[in-house]
Amino acid sequence: MNRKQPLAVIVGPTAGGKTAIAVELAKRLGGEVISADSVAVYTGLDIGSAKPTKAERQGIPHHMIDCADPAESFTVSDYQQRARAAIEGVHSRGNLPILAGGTGLYVNAVISDLGFTDAGRDEAFRLEWVKRERELPGSAYAALEKADQKRAKELHRNDFQRVLRALEVFHLTGRPMSEQNGDFQKSESPYRLAVAGLTMPRELLYARIEQRVDQMLSNGLVLEVQGLLDAGLDPNAPSLQGLGYKEIIAYLAGKQTLEQAVELIRQNTRRFAKRQLTWFRRDARTVWFDVSECSKPALADRIEDFFEHALQ
RNA sequence: GCCUCGGUAGCUCAGUCGGUAGAGCAAGGGACUGAAAAUCCCUGUGUCGGUGGUUCGAUUCCACUCUGAGGCA
């Protein structure tokens, strides 16, 4: 009987120390890092995404970083395919893949048996509905109630982004989205899994976020954004809707002061970290490690121990 | 020194013709299947500045007091 391949996973809120611990464990366990970060996939978005530098990577191979053009939109489904291929590559080299990142949906797309429908995107269809919704708010949800009652019940009528996607799937396939997607909470993982969650007291996390934002600024975040815009990147591109980018763009457009932009980045990052915690807490497979409870080497010891036992 | 207007949720304020109070923002919690760093939902007990007085009952009225802003000397 074929045994599933092992996959070590490190999740947690932004600025929580995932990168450093992932590299440390890769060194100890003979691993390679698979990033699970929806912004670090884009080339050129380096500072704002806190992409690990060459020095921080310490010679450990990192996958799923710089693999998409920021002018194009990169989706979960793209991520799933390519990340799984990357993991297979790591296995074929006899190494341990370490999936590390804070984008919950991306992590789930890899570690759960999450099957995406074949339906891609239909931009014309989307534009049409955006227009209709503006003219008659609530019409998209009303249409979904007719097309896919089950999905409509799962969604809130105001969650236009999801309502629209469900409509799009029905439009492209002629079948309700709710019939095409399994319940990923109940699905079995394709891998032998060990999921470590990094956590710390909220107060400490927020202090670290503040530090990180200051660091990004002194590393030249404003110049990075200016450079991307100068290179012709559309400020409305999905890649630039990320934290830190949209606020700086608003500053460069003269819509707010730099101080306001920075304060907004801090606040939005705190909120984002909160949402990340909500996501990872929900997954019962996550085993939590409090970073503030011990020294860095001791933390690495504990997680190394956990991975070794859980992945046996 | 005198006069006026304030002191109510972490912040800015509303309100109670006397029956112990509510908005916005902040914050917290939750959801999450092709934009996910996105999108969306839910959540308001606080010595009503302090001490006395009147009253069945005071955050509300009265007195004193502390404190902030402005004005007059």
Separation in Å: B21 C1' and A296 CA: 49
The closest nt to A266, taking CA to C1', is B37
Percent of chain A scoring above 70 in pLDDT: 98
Q: How far is the CA of A48 from the C1' of B37 (A)?
A: 10
Q: What percent of chain A has pLDDT over 90?
A: 90
| pLDDT tens for each residue of A70-127 | 999 899 999 999 999 999 999 999 999 999 999 999 999 999 988 888 888 899 999 9
Nucleotide nearest to A76 (CA to C1'): B34
3 state SS for A49-75: CCCCCHHHHCCCCEECCCCECCCCCCC
Q: Which residue is nearest to nucleotide B36 (CA to C1')?
A: A105
Q: Is A118 helix (H, G, I), strand (E, B) or coil?
A: coil
Q: Sorting pLDDT into bands at 50, 70 and 90, what band is A185?
A: low
CA of residue A20 to C1' of nucleotide B71, angstroms: 62
Q: So what's the pLDDT on residue A184?
A: 62
Cβ(A261)–Cβ(A250) below 8 Å: yes
Amino acid A186: pLDDT? 61
Higher pLDDT, A25 or A183: A25
CB A239 within 8 A of CB A39: yes
The two structure tokens encoding residue A86 = 């990357």
Query: For residue A291, what pLDDT band results from cuts at 50, 70 and 90?
Result: very high
Q: How far apart are CA A264 and CA A248, in angstroms?
A: 10
Of residues A226 and A118, more confidence is placed in A226
Nucleotides of B under 7 A from a protein CB: 26-41
Nearest to A199 by CA among A15, A9, A7, A8: A15
ipTM of predicted complex: 0.92
How many Å does it take to go from CA A257 to C1' B11?
21
Helical H segments across A68-194, by residue range: 76-92, 104-111, 123-135, 139-147, 149-154, 160-173, 177-180
Say if residues A253 and A235 touch (Cβ distance below 8 Å): yes
Tell me the pTM: 0.92
pLDDT (0 to 100) of residue A2: 65
Q: In what order do the strands lie in the sheet with A96-101?
A: A62-63, A31-35, A96-101, A6-11, A192-199, A286-290
Write the pLDDT tens digit of every residue in A2-58.
689 999 999 999 999 999 999 999 999 999 999 999 999 999 999 999 999 999 999
Sign of CA dihedral A185, A186, A191, A196: positive
Q: Extract the tokens encoding A117.
A: 């429908």
Q: Check residue A34 and report its DSSP letter.
A: E
Structure tokens at A176: 């309700």
In angstroms, rounded to a whole number, what is the distance separating the alpha carbons of residues A178 and A176?
Answer: 5
What integer is the mean pLDDT of A282-287? 94
CA dist A261 and A245 (Å) reads 10
Q: What is the pLDDT of residue A117?
A: 81
